[in-house]
C-alpha cells in the first residue's frame, strides 16, 4: 500500500527533491507552504481534496491544524542542531541576534548555544502573523544585527524592512524521520479502524446494550440496542463521555 502524506512547511520545498526518497519509502508526498492559522485551509484541502492519509507540519502549526482535520497530524520538531546551523550563518552578519519564534519555545537550549557560539541572543516571541511587522520594528529599534527565525512570515517581514535575516530550515533527515513516523501512525490507525469495524459488526448482533470506552471514559463503540435505549444516534454518541450520559440515563 502506498501512503499519501501531506507535508506543510514554513518555506517552499518541491516534490522533485524528495521523489527518490518517496519511492524508497513507498509513499507519495504532497508539499505545501503554510504556517499557524494560515495552514488550516491547506490542511483541510489536503484531507478533503488530495485525500492524504496523514499530515506532517512544524510543531506550532501541527498543534493548530490537528483540531481541524480527522487524520493524524505528525509534529515536525526543529532540533537544536537546526538552530545552531542557522546561528552560525547569522554570526557572519553580526553578534546581536534577534531570535523570533512562536511562544513558547523552551525546547531550544539557547543559553548554551549562545555561549558556545559567542553571540548575544535576545528572544522575541510572537503569537500571530499579524504581529510580525510591529515586532520587526521593535527589533530594529533595539539595534539587532540579524533576525533568526523558523517562521517564513517573520523572515519575509524582516527582509521587507531591509534587515538581515536567516531562516531556520529543517534537515532532510528530520523530514524523512517524520515520514517514517507518519507511515507507522497510518498503519496502526488502519488496523485500529479494521478492528473497530469488526467489533461494531459483532456487538450489533447482541440483544443487550453494549458500549465500549477508552481509558478516559469516552465512548469508542456503541451498538444499535444501546443507541435505541439512550435515544441517541451512533455518530452523536461516539466521543461522548460516559459520565455525561449516566447523568441523563442511569446505566
pLDDT digits (tens, 9 = 90+) for 110-150: 888 888 889 999 999 888 788 899 999 999 999 999 999 98
Q: What's the pLDDT score for residue 233? A: 87
A 10 A CB-CB count for 176 gives 14
Q: Counting Cβ atoms within 10 Å, is residue 22 exposed (0-12), middle (13-18) or buried (19+)?
A: middle
Q: In whole angstroms, how far apart are CA 174 and each of 42, 79, 180?
A: 22, 9, 10
Whole-prediction pTM value? Answer: 0.73
Q: Residue 15: which pLDDT band, with cuts at 50, 70 and 90?
A: low
Average pLDDT over residues 87-112: 82
A 10 A CB-CB count for 35 gives 23
The DSSP element (H or E) to which 33 belongs, if any, is strand 27-33
Q: Counting Cβ atoms within 10 Å, is residue 250 exposed (0-12), middle (13-18) or buried (19+)?
A: exposed
The DSSP element (H or E) to which 188 belongs, if any, is helix 172-203
Separation between Cα atoms, residue 80 and residue 84, nearest integer Å: 6
pLDDT digits (tens, 9 = 90+) for 154-172: 999 999 999 999 999 888 8
Average pLDDT over residues 7-19: 75
Amino acid at each position: 500500500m502506498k501512503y499519501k502524506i501531506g507535508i506543510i512547511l514554513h518555506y517552499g520545498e518541491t516534490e522533485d527533491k524528495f521523489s527518490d526518497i518517496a519511492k524508497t519509502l513507498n509513499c507519495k508526498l504532497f508539499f505545501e507552504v503554510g504556517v499557524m492559522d494560515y495552514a488550516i485551509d491547506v490542511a483541510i484541502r489536503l484531507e478533503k481534496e488530495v485525500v492524504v492519509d496523514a499530515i506532517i507540519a512544524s510543531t506550532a502549526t501541527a498543534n493548530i491544524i490537528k483540531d481541524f482535520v480527522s487524520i493524524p497530524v505528525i509534529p515536525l520538531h526543529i532540533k537544536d542542531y537546526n538552530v545552531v546551523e542557522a546561528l552560525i550563518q547569522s554570526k557572519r552578519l553580526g553578534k546581536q541576534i534577534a531570535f523570533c519564534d512562536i511562544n513558547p519555545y523552551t525546547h531550544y537550549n539557547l543559553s548554551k548555544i549562545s555561549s558556545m557560539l559567542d553571540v548575544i541572543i535576545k528572544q522575541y516571541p510572537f503569537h500571530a502573523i499579524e504581529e510580525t511587522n510591529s515586532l520587526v520594528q521593535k527589533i530594529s529599534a533595539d539595534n539587532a544585527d540579524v533576525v533568526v527565525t523558523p517562521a517564513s512570515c517573520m523572515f519575509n517581514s524582516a527582509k521587507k524592512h531591509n534587515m538581515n535575516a536567516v531562516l531556520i530550515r529543517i534537515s532532510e533527515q528530520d523530514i524523512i524521520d517524520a515520514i517514517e513516523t507518519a507511515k507507522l501512525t497510518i498503519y496502526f490507525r488502519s488496523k485500529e479502524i479494521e478492528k473497530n469495524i469488526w467489533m461494531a459488526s459483532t456487538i450489533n448482533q447482541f440483544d443487550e446494550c453494549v458500549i465500549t470506552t477508552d481509558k478516559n471514559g469516552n465512548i469508542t463503540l456503541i451498538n444499535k440496542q444501546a443507541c435505541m435505549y439512550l435515544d441517541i444516534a451512533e455518530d452523536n454518541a461516539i466521543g461522548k463521555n460516559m459520565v455525561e450520559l449516566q447523568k441523563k440515563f442511569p446505566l
